[in-house]
Amino acid sequence: MAVEKASAGVARRVLLTAGGLTLLGIYSTGRAGPDPVAARTGKARHAPVLMDNAFTNSPVSDPRVTASPARTRAAATAQDRPRLAAARRRGGPGAPSGYEQPMRYIDDGRKAIALTIDDGPSPVYTPQVLRLLEKYRVTATFSMIGIQASSYPRVAREVADAGHLVANHTWTHLDLAHLPPAVVADQMDRATGAIHAATGRVPDLFRAPYGAWSPFVLQRCAQTRMIPLGWSVDPRDWSRPGVPSIIANIMRNTSTGSIILEHDGGGNRSQTVAALTYVIPRLLAAGYHFRTP
């Protein structure tokens, strides 16, 4: 019996060691092996936005992760609070029970819609999107990747200074649903620190990469007082399906309350910019008005 227990203990230590090495490999490279979302859904997705220095700082000692989400919330004014509080309860049809579910629709009157733009800031495409939004006096929500905000703080600041909302989109755009809690917390907290350092704002909104939510991610949103933000219209612009395809998808699927997903980072976004050039005036002409979550 003692031999069996000793053998079992050794086997357990071997498994834990192997698991730790696997996690270390993911954490140091930012790669999580085969695409788990594609395995579940049969659909490919855009690659994580990574840079060579993605994990050069310690998750504990990173001096930027000092801003408390309870402080200095310039992203939402006092009068926005009732609307944001109500938004926490809207997860859309079929939302599972438990923690506050991702908001996939807004409720701000007839023909109110929201435009959200992910994976930036980009020094190439974000300024183009900003000029377009300024032209039509549209306010949007930019879901920023922390390492991008850290690399291009001037562009991130331009987004905030133009009056747009800024959401947390993690540090390096990993699939949080398949990572340990400590790594999830680090991805979220480091992004908050980087966004705050670049823009002076602590984000009130959080968008999970790939829309991959888990109970812990939702719990972490509640702990850090960030509203989980989903979407209801996805033209898959990240896959570069062509400008006509992006336009047709948005115009066909947008209705009152829709949250539209677009991208200004993560690759060549010229199709996105071109599509928005047509989509925004068409939606305005159809009587829609843009609001923020």
Q: What is the pLDDT of residues 250-265, one digit of tens each?
A: 999 999 999 999 999 9
Q: Are residues 217 and 114 in the same domain?
A: yes
* Confidence tier at 186 by pLDDT (50, 70, 90): very high
Is the alpha carbon torsion for 144, 150, 155, 159 positive or negative? positive
48-52, 102-106, 266-270: lowest mean pLDDT where? Answer: 48-52
Q: Which amino acid is at 14?
A: V
Number of H helices and E strands in the chain, helices first, is 10, 7
What range does the domain containing 125 cover? Answer: 76-291
Residue 64 is assigned to a structural domain of this protein = no
Half-sphere exposure of 201 (CA within 13 A, CB side): 27
CA-to-CA separations, 204 to 11, 64, 72, 248, in angstroms, rounded: 45, 17, 11, 31
The Cα 262–Cα 273 span in angstroms is: 9
Number of domains in the chain: 2
Residues 32-75 pLDDT 10s? 333 433 443 333 444 343 332 232 222 222 222 333 333 333 33
Residue 190 is assigned to a structural domain of this protein = yes
Q: Are residues 13 and 105 in the same domain?
A: no
The CATH code of the domain that includes 283 is 3.20.20.370
Q: Are residues 25 and 119 in the same domain?
A: no
Q: Are residues 81 and 186 in the same domain?
A: yes
pTM of the prediction?
0.71
pLDDT at 100: 81
CB atoms within 10 A of CB 230: 22
The SS3 assignment for 277 reads: helix
Nearest to 269 by CA among 75, 103, 132: 132
Which residues are catalytically annotated?
A: 118, 263
Residue 57 is assigned to a structural domain of this protein = no
